[in-house]
Amino acid sequence: MGVYTLPRSQLHLFLAVLSKRSPVYVPVKRDAIRFEPYNGTIDFSDNAYFPIKEHFFRKRETILRFDGQKLITVRPTSSKKIFFGVRRCDLTALKHQDSIFQKQYKDPWYKAQRANTILIGYHCATPPNKYCFCDGMGLEEYQDLMFYEQKTQFLVEVTSVKGAALIKKYRRFFKKANKRITDADKHIKTRKLRKRDFNAIYDHHAWTAGVNKCLSCTACTAMCPTCYCYELHDELDTLKHGTRCRIWSSCQVKAFTRIAGNHVFREQREHRFKHRIYHQIQYFREQHGFDLCTGCGRCIAACPTRIDWVSIANKIT
């Protein structure tokens, strides 16, 4: 669909102009790198610590309101958003989330957040950190434009109709380039997760090294761009009024499987620790034919004890 160039010196001007139309979320360095509306700075030194998931599958979503036993339906609202600088793992992660929330279930709340979104990708010339393992995790093209950083310019690959329209609208920033982006250009070389039937190695003793260091703190699931578990709760504002809301939840805590009578199905940490990994790289594949995990490595980067489950799994023969 065409390749263009944008001089590096023009990037901020382009983003500033683009921001006039609708908020452009870019990776910004705060306490950590997070996606925030463009405000003059941008940080590509590492992948964002927080994935863009929370903008679509929000931490807290109001499903309905009530007044006594009267149910008040809530219409999800939608606004235009542009995301700039999303890396390939996170684009694929969004695709996986879409396949659950939009394809498998027509989730109206997710759909509202997801509608009117433009995705501008950022290709990792080299892995942004040592935890990445996206190579071999089935990354896919899911963006409207893809930016490839070079010494003095960005190569901008148009990958969708929406992307082409955007280039057309801001044509003055871009110069047509006489170049084709090949599969080799798209490839990112990282360490790899050795894939196999993980059911066969569930009971392997090597996992113990990870299990023993796990604190059940839930950082891994909170930072994961694909984890999509949730809970529904009725919250009261007054004794009569309130909301039923959907909030994120984590399989790392006992409450995840605790039923009335206080029986916990995944009582031991071992099983909770493995459940997250297995849902990502085994169970989801059994159900959908592909892995949920995209290899961004955030679960390792965010883990307070840096449990590198990929290395652990790779060592198991």
Ligand X SMILES: Cc1cc2nc3c(=O)[nH]c(=O)nc-3n(C[C@H](O)[C@H](O)[C@H](O)COP(=O)(O)OP(=O)(O)OC[C@H]3O[C@@H](n4cnc5c(N)ncnc54)[C@H](O)[C@@H]3O)c2cc1C
161: how many CB neighbours lie within 10 A of its CB? 10
Contact between 212 and ligand SF4 by CB under 6 A: the answer reads no
- Which of another protein, ligand SF4, ligand X, none interacts with 186 (beta carbon under 5 to 8 A by kind)? none
Backbone angles phi, psi at 22, to 5 degrees: -160, 160
Write the binding mask 252 to 271 for ligand SF4: x where contact by CB under 6 A, - elsewhere: x-------------------
241: left (phi over 0), alpha (psi -120 to 50) or beta: beta
- Which of ligand X, ligand SF4, another protein, none interacts with 268 (beta carbon under 5 to 8 A by kind)? another protein
Binding positions for another protein, 193-222, rule CB under 8 A: 199, 202
Contact between 220 and ligand SF4 by CB under 6 A: the answer reads yes
Least Cβ distance, residue 134 to ligand SF4 (angstroms):
19
Integer CA distances (angstroms), 40 to 18, 55, 250, in order: 12, 21, 35
Least Cβ distance, residue 260 to ligand X (angstroms):
4
Measure the CA–CA gap between 123 and 150, rounded to whole angstroms.
11
Measure the CA–CA gap between 184 and 284, rounded to whole angstroms.
28
Measure the CA–CA gap between 143 and 121, rounded to whole angstroms.
6
Q: Binder to ligand SF4 among 42, 48, 167, 219 (CB under 6 A)?
A: 219
Least Cβ distance, residue 257 to another protein (angstroms):
5
Q: Which of these, 6, 296, 290, 302, lies nearest to 124 by C-alpha position?
A: 296
Contact between 78 and another protein by CB under 8 A: the answer reads no
- The DSSP symbol for 281 reads I
Name the token pair of 290: 């592909």
**Residue 239 or residue 259: which is nearer to ligand X going by CB?**
259
Tally the C-alpha atoms within 13 A of residue 183's C-alpha that lie toward its C-beta.
2
Interface ranges with another protein (CB under 8 A): 63-64, 66, 68-71, 73, 100, 104-108, 199, 202, 228-234, 236, 240, 242, 244, 246, 249, 251, 256-261, 263, 265-268, 271, 274-275, 278-279, 282-283, 286-287
Residues of this chain that interact with ligand SF4 (CB under 6 A) are 214-220, 252, 302-305, 307
